[in-house]
Structure formats: structure tokens, C-alpha cells
Amino acid sequence: PSIYDLPLVETTAGLRPASRDHAPVIGESGIGGLYYATGHYRHGILMTPVTVYRLIEEITEGTKSDLLRPFRPRRFDR
């Protein structure tokens, strides 16, 4: 059968959040124990592995990766 003959069951919108400077927001927020990993926009699927592994190290071991420095939420405090 043609796709046009199928009933419409559901529609969704896949939103891709972006930050105001178009770079991801990754790291600890101003609230202890709350971490951000958002704002990847269309590069999320590519950046997810490095984001996850570096953020896990930061949370569990307390080490801060230099790779995540440009993406810290504190950059918006200026």
C-alpha cells in the first residue's frame, strides 16, 4: 500500500537545544551536584561520547578536563 493510505497516528518535533553562543553547555551548575550536558544543537550525536566520558570523570573522580573548559556554564557569568 501507498504511504498516503496509512493513518496518521502520531507526530513529534525533535528539538535541538542550542545555547546563545552556539556552543554546548557542559559542566557543574551553580547548584551543587547538578551538571549540565546540553546545547549541542545539531552536533549532539557526534559530541555525546566525549561529553559523557569527560563528565563522568569529572563527577566520579573530581578531575576537570581541559577539553570541556570552553563549554563551562560559568562562561555566561561575564
Q: What is the pTM of this model?
A: 0.75
Separation between Cα atoms, residue 55 and residue 47, nearest integer Å: 12
Domain ranges of the chain: 3-77
Q: pLDDT tens for residues 4-56?
A: 888 889 888 878 889 999 999 999 998 989 999 999 998 888 998 999 999 99
Check pLDDT > 70 for residue 1. Answer: no
9 to each of 6, 12, 28, 47, how far by Cα in Å?
9, 11, 40, 32
Q: Which residues contact 59 (CB under 8 A, 6 or more apart)?
A: 35
